[in-house]
A and B are shown apart, each in its own frame.
Chain A
Amino acid sequence: MTLLHRLASILRWIVRRDRAEKDLHDEVQAFADMAAADRRRGGASATEAQRLAVLDLGGVEQTKERVRASRYGAWLDVVGRDVRYGLRQVRHNPAFSGIAIATLALGIGVNAAMFSVVDAVLIRPLPYADADRLVMIWDDASRTGGKPKFFSTPPEWHEWRRDNTVFTDIAASQPGDAALSGNGEPEELPARKVSGNFWSVLGAQPLLGRVFTEDEDTRGSRVVVISYGLWQRRFGASPDVLGRTITLNDSSYQVIGIMPREFYFMPARDVDIWMPTSFSPAMLNNWGWHDVHCVARLKPGVSLNQAREAMATLSLRLSAQHVPLARSAVVTPLREELAGKTYMSLIVLLGAAGAVLLIACVNLANLLLARGAVRRREVAVRAALGAGPGRLITQFLIESLVLAGLGALAGLALAIPVMRFLETLVPQTMAAVHLTLDWRVLAVSAAIAITAGVTFGLAPAIRGSRLALEEGLRIGGRGSAGTRSYSFQHSLIIAETALAVVLLTIGGLLLQTFEHLSRLDLGIRSDRVLTFVTPLFRYREFEKRVAFVNAELEKIRAIPGVISADAISRIPLTVNDQATYYRLAGQSSNETVEQVALSRVVTRDYFATVGARLREGRFFETSDQRSDAPAAVVNESFADRHFPGRSLLGARLQFGNLSPKGYWYTIVGVVKEIRDRGVAEQLQPTIYRVHEQADQSGDQPSGIVVRTALDPTSIVSAVRQAIWSVDRNQPIARVQTIEDIVTRQLSVPSQNTVLLSAFALLSLLLASIGLYGVLSYAVTQRTNEIGVRLALGARSRDILLSFSRRGLTLTVAGLAIGLVLAAMTARVMRTLFFDFQPDYTAAVAVTSIALLAVGALACFVPARRASRISPMIALQQE
Chain B
Amino acid sequence: MEKLDIPQGTLDLMILTILAREPMHGYGISQRLAVLSRDHFHVNPGSLFPSLYRLEQDGKLKAEWRPTENNRRAKYYRLTASGRRQLEQHRERWNRVSFAVTSVLEGA
Q: Which residues from chain A sit less than 8 Å from chain B, CB to CB?
A: 1-2, 4-6, 9-10, 23, 26-28, 30-31, 33-35, 37-38, 56-58, 62-63, 66-67, 69-72
Contact = CB atoms under 8 A, between A and B. Distances in A.
B56 A9 contact: yes
Contact of B45 (A10, A56, A69): A56
Contacts of B53: 67, 70-71
Contacts, number: 75
Contacts of B54: 70-72
Contacts of A58: 44-46
Contacts of A38: 31
B27 interface: yes
A59 B41 CA distance: 20
A28 B49 contact: yes
Contacts of B59: 1-2, 4-5
29 contacts: A1-B82, A5-B59, A6-B58, A23-B75, A26-B65, A26-B75, A27-B26, A27-B75, A28-B45, A30-B25, A30-B72, A30-B74, A30-B75, A31-B26, A31-B27, A31-B30, A31-B45, A34-B68, A34-B74, A56-B45, A57-B44, A57-B46, A58-B45, A62-B46, A63-B45, A66-B49, A69-B50, A70-B54, A71-B54
Nearest to A73: B57
A36 B76 CA distance: 19
Contacts of B74: 27, 30, 34
Interface in B23-63: 25-27, 30-31, 44-47, 49-50, 53-54, 56-59
B72 A34 contact: yes
Contacts of A33: 72
A70 B50 contact: yes
B86 to A, nearest CB: 10
A1 B47 CA distance: 25
Contacts of B65: 26
Nearest to B27: A34
Interface of B: 25-27, 30-31, 44-47, 49-50, 53-54, 56-59, 65, 68, 70, 72-75, 82
B84 to A, nearest CB: 14
Contacts of A70: 50, 53-54
Contacts of B25: 30-31, 34
A6 B57 contact: yes
Nearest to B75: A27
Given A30-B26, A66-B47, A70-B50, 4 more contacts: A5-B58, A28-B45, A57-B44, A67-B50
B12 to A, nearest CB: 13
B58 A2 contact: yes
Q: Which of A4, A10, A26 is the most central at the interface, judged by chain B CB atoms within 10 Å of its CB?
A: A26
B25 to A, nearest CB: 7
A interface majority secondary structure: helix
Nearest to B82: A1
Contacts of A69: 50
B22 to A, nearest CB: 17
Q: Which of A1, A37, A58, A63 is the most central at the interface, judged by chain B CB atoms within 10 Å of its CB?
A: A63
Nearest to B56: A9
A26 to B, nearest CB: 7
A63 B46 contact: yes
Contact of B73 (A4, A28, A30): A30
Contacts of A56: 44-45
Nearest to A4: B59
Given A1-B82, A58-B45, A26 B73 contact: yes
Contacts of A31: 25-27, 30, 45, 49
A4 B58 CA distance: 8
Q: Which of B50, B57, B72 is the most central at the interface, judged by chain A CB atoms within 10 Å of its CB?
A: B57
A4 B49 CA distance: 21
A859 B30 CA distance: 70
A35 B25 CA distance: 12
Contacts of A66: 46-47, 49-50
Contact of B27 (A9, A10, A35, A67): A35
A390 B50 CA distance: 23
Nearest to B58: A2
A844 B18 CA distance: 82
A620 to B, nearest CB: 93
B45 A57 contact: yes
B27 A30 contact: yes
Contacts of A30: 25-27, 72-75
Contacts of B46: 57-58, 62-63, 66
Contacts of B75: 23, 26-27, 30
Contacts of A26: 65, 73, 75
B97 to A, nearest CB: 23
A57 B53 CA distance: 17
A444 B94 CA distance: 51
B4 to A, nearest CB: 17
Q: Which of B27, B44, B54 is the most central at the interface, judged by chain A CB atoms within 10 Å of its CB?
A: B27
4 interchain residue pairs of minimum CB distance = A5-B59, A70-B50, A34-B27, A9-B57
Given A26-B73, A33-B72, A35-B27, A72 B49 contact: no
A278 B70 CA distance: 100
Nearest to A71: B53
